[in-house]
Amino acid sequence: MHFKTLAESFDKIEHVSSRLAMTDLLADLFKKSKADEIARIVYLCQGKLAPAFKDIEVGMGESYVEEGIAKASGYSKADVDKEFKKRGDLGLVAQEFFSKKKQRSLFSSELSIGKVFKNLIKIATVSGSGSQQLKIKLLAELLNSASPIEAKYLVRIPLGNLRLGIGDPTIMDSFAKNLSEEARKNKALVKGVEKKLKEKKEEKREAELEKKIRLKVRELIESKYNVYSDLGGLAEKLAEKGLKGLEKIEITPGVPIRPTLAERLPTAKEIVEKLGRCAVEAKYDGFRLAIHKDKGKVTIFSRRQENVTDMFPEITDAVRKQIKAVDAIFEGEALVFNEETEEYFPFQVTIQRKRKYDIDKMAKEFPLTLFAFDLLYANGKSLMNLPFKKRRERLGKMIGKGKTIELTESIETDKTEEVESFFNESVEKGLEGIIAKDLNAGYIAGARKFAWIKLKRSYKGELGDTVDTVILGFFKGKGKRTQFGLGGLLTGVYDEKEDKFKSLAKIGTGMTEEMLSDLHKMLSKIKEGKKPARIDSELKPDYWVEPKYVIEVNADEITRSPIHTAGKKKGEQGFALRFPRMIKIRQDKKAEQATTVKEIEAMFKRQKHVGLSE
């Protein structure tokens, strides 16, 4: 495919705002893509060159991109910079400059996806002396052959923000659209769907069937994505083999799995009522790590599925020594723990281990203990469908002697008092609380279900839990805060159904002066000239930002709000946080892993329910 076709699709996508229209455009684009190029096209739609866990970022600073534009367009860097200051988007600057380009390249030829990809990969991977100049040259080389529309996106990719508002859910919707014709011919699938049809009238039934088939296919795709976090790889299998390609996708060591998540209940009594006899484990406050062992090769993924292997050498060593299985995927929480005094260190100490330098020194000073809590795969077999009780037994048997990897503390009970006293013991030890687990449940990748229920130290007079919100924009500081350039944040939560971020709270407290200026620095880099496509907010901050950073927030309660859009339905108000205060940045979460609108709704209901019973 020519890069021009992709750039033109991007341009159309940029100019529509409904998710349906976006899905149709993406579906057309993927239909036109050949099986051997579709993976690369999907990565480019995600603004990447590879799945996130492969850690290949094109990453060029604005100044170098400006040089690239200048080099290829014949304008000076100062001209480019001046226009950038005016427009706030180098993509638009490139588009404009290339439409009135001063010098024409002698050998400009049509850019293919292959050529673009080759140069971008080089830009992403060259290092050492002279590498910046080489990066500029590689970008300029592409720009030399580019039309104005192509230039716009060629510039935005290395800057790490395509500004299209395509989320993974929309990409999956478009895969489902392209597969629905084939699915219509799949007798078993149609039969299963037909059973659930509600419409009686023949003509309406047909439309309902169509919709349900598409939803079923979408569900199948997502269930695979949950255990195989590589949308490009998935697209390739679908393009090669259609629906049958889905069967070929299996949990694989080295490819991260989306983590299972815990629901909340406010009391031990309700937990026991919900689960009956259950396992109750201590809730540790550290890093959630997924460990993949493939013979001698150990890979560690963070909660946001980044490859963090290099940060934790003592864990990698321990996996080789302590884990008896040839290959395995298991999960645990890692934190600094003093075995002699049996003291768990607070998160502020553990977080120091998240660094790229002085790793060995820090590993000696603050060694981590990994408290393992689940086993998903061992010796070539997926264990995700085994009941939790069996998975934990196998996990226990798999861990050999050693100090670094241990099983989580756990009891099995159906008595409220025992859950309560285990909770109190855990809190006394400085832990966060407990997680109760359904003994019979399989591992539910990527979803928050009642297979796990968390109960945390209660924040007296406040919400039973903190909320993780996404920063959507910021307000200029007033008075004393003028000096920091930032006085408050507009934040929101994730609406999974619509794949949008909806506003929930304006936050101006809880930040130290240092935090304010750090936030300003961080957010200035991702400022947007207009409201990003995936944000839904009626409140307008001074500056919009790309929804990227998640912050943990505490508040007194959730209230109904006419201003915010989270949970807002026709004729109903949205939700807001009362007296929100920032606690910290959640570096371990991606925007899509923030608290969801659905969770806010549940927390709101529960809060009322608790109030009534008191």
Catalytic positions, please? Answer: 283
| φ/ψ (deg, to 5) at 2 | -75, 145
Residue of this chain nearest to ligand ATP (CB atom): 288
Query: What would the 3-class secondary structure string for 191-227 be?
Result: HHHHCCCCCCCHHHHHHHHHHHHHHHHHHHHHHHHHH
Quote the CA–CA distance of 153 and 455 in Å, as a whole number. 46
Across the strands, what pairs with 434?
282, 455
Candidate residues 319, 435, 504, 523; the one interacting with ligand ATP per rule CB under 6 A = 435
Please report whether residue 288 would count as binding ligand ATP according to CB under 6 A.
yes
Distance in Å from the first CA to the final CA of the chain: 65
Q: By C-beta, is 225 or 494 nearer to ligand ATP?
A: 494
3-class secondary-structure state, position 411: strand
Total of chain residues touching ligand ATP, rule CB under 6 A: 12
Tell me whether residue 83 or residue 333 sits nearer to ligand ATP (CB atom).
333
**3-state SS assignment for residue 147:** coil
Out of 373, 377, 423, 474, point to the residue binding ligand ATP (CB under 6 A): 373
Contact window for ligand ATP (CB under 6 A) among 32-40, 47-55, 278-286, 354-362: 278-286
Rounded to a whole number of angstroms, the minimum distance from the CB of residue 609 to ligand ATP is: 20
Cβ-contact 304, 590 below 8 angstroms: yes
Q: Does 283 bind ligand ATP (CB under 6 A)?
A: yes
> What is the C-alpha radius of gyration for the chain, rounded to an integer number of angstroms?
26
Position 354 contacts ligand ATP (CB under 6 A): no
Classify residue 114 as left (phi > 0), alpha (psi -120 to 50) or beta.
alpha
3-state secondary structure 422-489: HHHHHHHCCCCEEEEEECCCCCCCCCEEEEEEEEECCCCCCCCCCEEEEEEEEECCCHHHHHHCCCEE
- Window 92 to 111, contacts with ligand ATP (CB under 6 A): none
Q: Residues 64, 84, 97, 284: which binds ligand ATP (CB under 6 A)? A: 284
Options 454, 520, 581, 590; binder of ligand ATP; rule CB under 6 A: 454
Nearer to ligand ATP by Cβ, of 258 and 500: the residue is 258
> In the bound complex, what is the minimum distance in angstroms from residue 283's beta carbon to ligand ATP?
4
Smaller CB separation from ligand ATP, 314 or 333: 333
**Smallest distance from the beta carbon of 556 to ligand ATP, in angstroms?**
18
Q: Examine residue 281 and tell whether it contacts ligand ATP (CB under 6 A).
A: yes
**Minimum CB distance to ligand ATP smaller for 253 or for 332:** 332
261 interacts with ligand ATP by CB under 6 A? yes
Read off the tokens for 124: 């992403």
In the set 66, 67, 333, 546, which binds ligand ATP (CB under 6 A)?
333
Q: φ, ψ for residue 456 (rounded to 5)?
A: -105, 160
- Contact between 422 and ligand ATP by CB under 6 A: the answer reads no
The residues that touch ligand ATP, with contacts defined as CB under 6 A, are: 261-262, 281-284, 288, 333, 373, 408, 435, 454
